[in-house]
């Protein structure tokens, strides 16, 4: 059960609800949520014998806004908790139903010049957000690990010059505050999806979060990860399907296209697709992006590089300007046919 307090609820109102729940043998955990475009709300997650707790008539207590029974293991991100699909605002860009957001940029920030060129490619194709990794999760400890804070500074500078809000990955709890001080949105990568302390730290960081699906995780585990972030303080979460590991070696991962409508059915959060990391092949980025639009995704996040053959990370899946431009036009046409507008 989730109890959402009204905006004018006092601390005493919250304490009274908690005491009532506990008097019926239930457990109550209090949190505060911020939602894009609105003021924060206190919520109380309740577990226990719900028949006993129902008898308390909590919905009639002072300061209580709404009481919802939620049958799924994730609560705040569930469609049962909020029936309408949500939108998430990132630096003036709205991600969610009715729109289609194109996010593009380099896989890794390598230099100011490369990031600027990639951002120009992104912007001229109509992308409204810039991606780029400063902290890179690499399989090999000898591979390029990213520029760290120097990379964040480059991203912030390019954002200031192009107006494109920035999403970038944070790999460790230690760096959350630092990354949040430069980025508009914090990315949790596939390898970190079940790093629970990290999920809690980004949830409390005051920035929207892009939560990639773990490459070996179920949809339910993905939504439970989102629940960790929500419980820590924000519902400004965008889910990203980026492919899962299967027995098929022809692609880097298998894009689970069904996960898009399924996640949207189970959760009110926006869902986007990463066609670059899922296929891992430049020639698959366009078809997978078109599939994402057709499946109802709320956007795509695409790797671009001015010179992919020189990329320090994932060059084989990066598009150049001449490749991104026609794809962006196609996605525009497709979204129009499907009655949506590009953000």
Displacement of CA 339 from its chain's centroid (Å):
23
Whether the CB-CB separation of 172 and 145 falls below 8 Å is answered with no
Calpha distance 277→260 (Å, rounded): 16
Q: Smallest distance, Å, CB 8 to ligand E4P? A: 45
Q: Beta strand 185-188 with 166-169: parallel, antiparallel or unpaired?
A: parallel
Per CB under 6 A, which region of 70-78, 138-146, 239-247, 286-294 contacts ligand E4P? 138-146
- The answer to the question of residue 137 lying near ligand E4P (CB under 6 A) is yes
Burial 248-286 (b: 16+ CB within 10 A, else e): eeeebbbbbbebbebbbebbbbbbbbbbbbbbbebebbb
Tell which one of 109, 314, 319, 323 touches ligand E4P (CB under 6 A). 314
Q: Smallest distance, Å, CB 245 to ligand PEP? A: 11
| N-term to C-term CA, the chain | 35
Question: CA separation (Å) from 13 to 57, 59, 96?
Answer: 14, 12, 33
Write the binding mask 101 to 120 for ligand PEP: x where contact by CB under 6 A, - elsewhere. ------x-------------
- Residue 212 interacts with which of ligand E4P, ligand PEP, none, CB < 5 to 8 Å by class: ligand PEP
- Residue 139 interacts with which of ligand E4P, ligand PEP, none, CB < 5 to 8 Å by class: ligand E4P
Tell which one of 189, 270, 275, 308 touches ligand PEP (CB under 6 A). 189
Whether the CB-CB separation of 301 and 314 falls below 8 Å is answered with no
- The answer to the question of residue 190 lying near ligand PEP (CB under 6 A) is yes
Tell which one of 11, 19, 55, 143 touches ligand E4P (CB under 6 A). 143
Binding site residues, ligand PEP, CB under 6 A: 107, 133, 137, 169, 189-191, 212, 242, 274, 277
């Amino acid at each position: 059960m989730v109890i959402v307090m009204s905006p004018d609820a006092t601390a005493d109102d919250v304490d009274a609800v908690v005491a009532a729940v506990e008097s019926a043998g239930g457990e109550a955990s209090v949190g505060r949520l911020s939602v894009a475009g609105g003021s924060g709300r206190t919520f109380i997650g309740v577990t226990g014998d719900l028949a006993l707790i129902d008898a308390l008539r909590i919905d009639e207590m002072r300061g209580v806004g709404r009481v919802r029974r939620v049958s799924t293991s994730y609560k705040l991100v569930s469609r049962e908790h909020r029936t309408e699909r949500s939108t998430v605002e990132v630096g003036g860009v709205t991600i969610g139903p009715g729109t289609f957001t194109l996010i593009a940029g380099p896989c890794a920030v390598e230099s100011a010049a490369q990031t600027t060129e990639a951002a120009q490619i992104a912007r001229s194709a109509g992308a409204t957000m810039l991606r780029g990794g400063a902290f890179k999760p690499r399989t090999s400890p000898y591979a390029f690990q990213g520029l760290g804070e120097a990379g964040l500074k480059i991203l912030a500078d390019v954002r200031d010059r192009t107006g494109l809000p920035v999403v970038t990955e944070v790999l460790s709890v230690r760096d959350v505050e630092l990354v949040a001080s430069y980025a508009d949105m914090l990315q949790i990568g596939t390898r970190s999806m079940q790093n629970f302390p990290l999920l809690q730290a980004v949830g409390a960081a005051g920035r929207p979060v892009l939560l990639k699906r773990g490459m070996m995780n179920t949809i339910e585990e993905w939504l439970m990860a989102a629940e960790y972030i929500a419980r820590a303080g924000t519902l400004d979460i965008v889910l990203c399907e980026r492919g899962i590991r299967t027995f098929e070696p022809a692609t880097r991962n298998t894009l689970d296209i069904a996960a898009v409508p399924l996640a949207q059915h189970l959760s009110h959060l926006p869902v986007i697709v990463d066609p670059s990391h899922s296929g891992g092949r430049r020639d698959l980025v366009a078809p997978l992006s078109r599939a994402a639009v057709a499946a109802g995704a709320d956007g795509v996040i695409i790797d671009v590089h001015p010179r992919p053959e020189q990329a320090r990370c994932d060059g084989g899946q990066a598009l150049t300007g001449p490749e991104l431009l026609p794809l962006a036009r196609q996605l525009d046409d497709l979204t129009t046919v499907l009655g949506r507008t590009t953000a």
